[in-house]
Amino acid sequence: PVNEEIYNHFKIYGRNEIPESEGLSNLFDTTARETLEAVWDRYCRCSAFELVEITHEQEPWRMAYEERRDIRNSEIQRYFQSTY
């Protein structure tokens, strides 16, 4: 799933690594930070193709695809918080 605002912010890096200065150090919400760290720990070694395959099996993506709509941030948050 792609959040358009986040995608547009980071697309300048293309296929290159995003500098650490752009990362979690700028995130002050503890819950969001912990969730992102758990997701990173689980998926950081996956290729782009593997990530596509994984997300297409997850409930937020499947529901949005079936209903032909965008994935809601609240659905992503609920899914990952319940999973991690």
Q: What is the pLDDT of residue 53?
A: 94
- 42: closest CA among 4, 75, 73, 79? 79
pTM: 0.59
Alpha-carbon gap, residue 17 to 65, rounded angstroms: 29
Tens-digit pLDDT profile for the chain (84 aa)? Answer: 667 787 888 889 888 888 877 765 666 677 777 877 888 898 999 998 999 999 999 999 999 999 999 999 899 889 888 876
| Secondary-structure breakdown of the chain: helix, strand, coil percentages, each rounded to the nearest 5 | 70, 0, 30
Residues in the chain, total: 84
Alpha-carbon gap, residue 25 to 21, rounded angstroms: 7
